[in-house]
Amino acid sequence: MKRILFIHGKNPKPPPHVHRDLLLRCLAEGVRRIDPATAAAIVATHAFSLVAWGRLFYQEEIPAFADLPWVEQLLSQGSWPEDDIHDARPVRYRMARLMYQIGDHLPWLIPLIPDSRVKLSIQETETTWGPTSAKCRNSRCARRPAPETGYY
């Protein structure tokens, strides 16, 4: 089986082992609803790994118990409500994704992006992680990852 490598987004996250377990539960349940054999294989072969960089960058973690009731509610549903499916893929999210991809490949177009939230997020990422960013120069992201930052 191929491996699934998950690299989380911005903001502090729960402790890596807890975060990985929550993500794996959600992934396995979603895949199980479509293909039970693949879901079982993902769990059995330890095919899911988390790259937990947030603790190194933000120097903090958040407790997982705040999200746990929502995870339990999601997993307890027999199927996904049509409203949830519709709400998960609105045109504005698809357009935002397209703008992120354009900004990644053609950064000189970023000032022309009309959605201010997308533009701000792209610029914030560049400011934080770009090659000249002070945060990157002054943190471990500028160095090779330490062994304890491996996969969870």
Give the pLDDT confidence of 39-51 residue by residue, as tens digits: 999 999 989 999 8
Domain spans in the chain, listed from the N-terminal domain onward? 1-80, 89-144
pLDDT at 36 over 60: yes
pLDDT at 140 over 60: no
Using a 10 angstrom Cβ sphere, with 0-12 exposed, 13-18 middle and 19 or more buried, the burial of residue 120 is exposed
Find the mean pLDDT for residues 74-89.
79
pLDDT given for residue 129 in this prediction: 55
What confidence tens digit (pLDDT) does each residue in 92-101 have? 778 888 887 8
Cross-strand partners of 6: 50
Q: Where are the alpha helices (DSSP H) in the chain?
A: 16-32, 36-44, 54-58, 68-76, 82-88, 91-105, 116-129, 134-137
What confidence tens digit (pLDDT) does each residue in 59-78 have? 889 888 778 888 898 888 87
Cα 77 from chain centre: 23
Amino acid 135 reads K
Find the mean pLDDT for residues 15-33.
91
